Amino acid sequence: MSSQKVGPTIADDIIYGAVLAIFFALVIIFLYILFRFRNWQFGVGAVAALTHDVLIVLALFSILYGFLPFSLEIDQAFIAALLTVIGYSINDTVVVFDRIREFLGIYKKEEKGVVYNKALNSTLSRTFSTSLSTFFVLLAIFAFGGASIRGFIFAILIGIVVGTYSSLFIATPVVYDTINKYTKIKATTNDIRERRKMKKKKDK
């Protein structure tokens, strides 16, 4: 048996440390995706999905606090769980992005939306198989591992679920939409420049 009491100053330090850790993790992941895929839109999609995952885990911990028969405290273990969720989710996202990049190289003449859809469909079985196997292992630990780690495992279980669908249904659509909007803005800007050049030539 043991007991632990956290004062308000230490609690503030934990919250501040958690925010910093998650923020720097997201920044480094964005830079990694930018370096690997040579495209900032992929970085934006990855960070959007990871932000969603963190917010969902935080929201469920806040909503379910006091209703479940185990601790849902925001402590060092919870921060570790969030960082674990981020790592797991970005792994799924990178696999999906790799397949998208591969298919964009193979199907150059097809419409981009169709290519993205093909890439997602080709990763579905791998993504769900990996997530389910991990989920069942964590579920066994959650059921038989003891009360002291149930809060930690519960956060990771939530993260596995939301991280799986966010890689498919949040990260990829954000990439697709941002690329389309950026392409339209770039085309409009180029068109305006061409018109200005033509106008200057006529004036001369």
Q: State the pLDDT at residue 136.
A: 92
Which tens digit of pLDDT belongs to each residue from 85-111?
888 889 889 999 999 989 988 888 888
The pLDDT value recorded for residue 139 is: 92
| Residue 190 forms part of a structural domain | yes
Per-residue tokens: 28: 């480094």
* Angular region, 36: left φ>0, alpha ψ -120 to 50, beta rest: alpha
Q: With respect to residue 70, please indicate whether it lies within any of the assigned structural domains.
A: yes
Residue 6's pLDDT is what? 53
Q: Is residue 3 part of a domain?
A: no
Q: Residues 112-141: pLDDT tens digits?
A: 888 899 999 988 888 888 889 999 999 999
- Is 1 a domain residue? no
Q: Is the pLDDT assigned to residue 190 strictly greater than 80?
A: no
At 198 the pLDDT is 73
Look up residue 59 and give its amino acid: A
Residue 13 pLDDT exceeds 90 = no
**Rounded to whole angstroms, how far apart are CA atoms 14 and 73?**
11
Chain centre to alpha carbon of residue 67: 28
Phi (first) and psi of residue 145, to 5 degrees: -85, -10
The C-alpha atoms of residue 195 and residue 176 are separated, in whole angstroms, by: 29
Prediction pTM value = 0.82
**Can you give the residue range of the structural domain that contains 86?**
8-203
Write the pLDDT tens digit of every residue in 58-80: 898 888 888 877 777 777 788 88
Average pLDDT, the chain: 84
The pLDDT assigned to 105 comes to 87
- What's the confidence (pLDDT) of residue 107? 87
| CATH code at position 13 | 1.20.1640.10
CB 48 within 8 A of CB 125: no
- Concatenate the DSSP letters of all residues of 19-48 into one string: HHHHHHHHHHHHHHHHHHHS-HHHHHHHHH
Q: Is residue 160 part of a domain?
A: yes
Residues in contact with 96: Cβ distance below 8 Å, sequence separation at least 6, in sequence order? 119, 120, 123, 127, 167, 168, 171, 172
Residue 2 lies in a domain: no
State whether the Cα torsion 75-77-82-87 is positive or negative: positive
Q: How open is the CA angle 85-15-46, to the nearest 5 degrees?
A: 35
- pLDDT at residue number 158: 92
Considering only residues 73 and 157, tell me which one the structure prediction assigns the higher pLDDT. Answer: 157
Task: Compute, in degrees rounded to 10, the torsion defined by CA atoms 161, 162, 166, 168.
Answer: 10
Number of domain units in the chain? 1
With residue 13 as reference, give the H or E element that holds it. helix 8-37
- Centre a 10 Å sphere on the Cβ of residue 8 and count the other Cβ atoms it contains: 7
pLDDT band at 48 (very low <50, low <70, confident <90, very high): very high
Average pLDDT over residues 8-17: 66
